[in-house]
Amino acid sequence: MTKKLILLVEDNPDDEFLTRDALRTGGVSHDVVVVRDGAEAVEWIFAPETATPDLVLLDLKLPKMSGFDVLERIRSNGSTRGLPVVILTSSSEVQDIQRSYGMGANSYVRKPVNFSEFVRAVQALGVYWLTVNEPAQPLVN
- Domain annotation covers residue 32: yes
The 10s digit of each residue's pLDDT in 5-22 is 999 999 999 889 988 888
CATH of residue 115: 3.40.50.2300
- Report yes or no: 37 and 62 within 8 Å, Cβ to Cβ: yes
Strands (E), 26-103: 31-35, 55-58, 85-89
Query: Which residues span the domain enclosing 24?
Result: 5-131
The 10s digit of each residue's pLDDT in 72-99 is 999 999 889 999 999 999 899 999 999 9
Q: How many domains does the chain have?
A: 1
| pTM for this predicted structure | 0.90
- Domain annotation covers residue 125: yes
